[in-house]
Amino acid sequence: MKADKYLQMLTKHIENSKMRKDIMREYEDHIEDCKEALMESGMREDEAVRQMGDPKEAGSALNRLYRDVLDLHMALWFLGCVIVLLLGRWTLVEIDDKLQEIILNYTGGIILIYGFILSAWEKHHDTGIAWVYGKNWSGGIGAMNNSGFILAVGVTLMAHSMERGVWIALAVAAGLIVLRSYIQMLNNKREVELLWEIGVADTVINYKGKGTFRGKQMKIKTEEEEIQPESPIMIVCFDGAKPVVVRM
């Protein structure tokens, strides 16, 4: 087994995408040093690599150590937005009549549903807490168009008392943690299945394109030079939900 194949098998068993990149960088140097030291004693490369142990067992052990599914960040950001908005609402509005209450309930409920859908999309695409749609956008509006802020607006509309607002906020925060952790688990599973897979380019690939892996076409990108159709390609990492490929 070659050193690069050993590293591929090892990292394929690590679900945490952020830690996988760090481990890969560290192990590249470590494996190369160990391989050179063993080859100096007369071993062939495949024998030297075999002395390093089973890459599947090593990868599984590292995965148990660095596995991370639980996502608390958006829930904490959401709760912070709720506190600010609830305090603002009770500073400006003291009494709601029945009609206002019904309108606010329905409006808040619709906003909550939209916020949960947006939060699932954000987690799938691995966006940050403050993001903007489009690389050429600038300014500080990113924090206002994410799901945490939108959900906080929904809770504020439905909170007809501070106590009611707190209970709704806690329920939504718990729902956020469960939803985003589940999406993270699905992303981890998908990455592990697709990492190092070899396929073919269906279109020209640059910052976007399409390729086929395991008989399924998917959106991909490359950080290298433009890849032409029919070229053999391999998935080496992920940019959010999109696989990043290199030409074989």
Q: Nearest-CA neighbor of 165 among 176, 175, 178, 152?
A: 152
pLDDT of the residue at 135: 41
Distances in Å between the alpha carbon of 118 and those of 14, 150, 151? 27, 9, 10
Do residue 178 and residue 110 come from a single domain?
A: yes
Give the phi and the psi of residue 207 in degrees, each rounded to 5.
-75, -10
Domain boundary among 191, 208, 223: 191
Can you give the pLDDT at residue 152?
87
Specify the range with the lowest mean pLDDT, choosing from 42-51, 64-73, 187-196. 42-51
Instruction: Give long-range contacts, CB 8 A cutoff, 24+ apart: 217-220.
Output: 218/243, 220/244, 220/245
User: Are 86 and 179 members of one domain?
Assistant: yes
Q: Are residues 221 and 237 in the same domain?
A: yes
pLDDT tops 70 at residue 28:
no
Domain boundaries, position 42 = 1-68
Q: Are residues 54 and 83 both part of a single domain?
A: no
Q: Confidence band (pLDDT; 50, 70, 90) for 245? A: confident
- 32: pLDDT confidence band, cut at 50, 70 and 90? low
Q: Of the given ranges (59-73, 143-157, 191-205, 232-246), which has the lowest mean pLDDT? A: 59-73
Confidence of residue 37 (pLDDT cuts 50, 70, 90): low
User: Is the confidence at residue 39, as pLDDT, over 60?
Assistant: yes
Least confident of 37-41, 135-139, 180-184, 241-245: 135-139
Which among 9, 42, 68 is the end of a domain? 68
Q: Which of 242, 244, 245, 243 is nearest to 233 (CA)?
A: 245
Last residue of a domain, one of 154, 171, 191: 191
CATH number for the domain that contains residue 205: 2.40.50.140
Specify the pLDDT at position 136.
Answer: 38
- The answer on pLDDT for 141 being more than 70 is no
Give pTM, 2 decimals: 0.60
Q: Tell me the CA distances in angstroms from 160 to 23, 90, 172, 192, one per residue in order.
A: 50, 9, 16, 46
Residues 183 and 233 in one domain: no
Residues 178 and 94 occupy one common structural domain: yes
How far is Cα 187 from Cα 182, in angstroms, rounded to an integer? Answer: 9
Confidence band, pLDDT 50/70/90 cuts, at residue 69: low
User: How many independent structural domains does the chain possess?
Assistant: 3
Both 77 and 176 in one domain: the answer is: yes
One domain for residues 149 and 220: no
Q: Are 181 and 221 found together in one domain? A: no
Task: Judge if 77 and 136 occupy the same domain.
Answer: yes
What whole-number distance in Å separates Cα of residue 174 and Cα of residue 144? 21
CB 119 within 8 A of CB 74: yes
Residues 78 and 19 in one domain: no
Angle at 6 between CA 4 and CA 9, to 5 degrees: 110
Is residue 202 predicted with pLDDT exceeding 70?
Answer: yes
- 113, 200: one domain: no
- Band of residue 133 on the pLDDT scale cut at 50, 70, 90: very low
- pLDDT at position 137 is 40
Distances, alpha carbon 77 to alpha carbons 84, 122, 155, 177, 184, in Å: 11, 14, 14, 12, 18
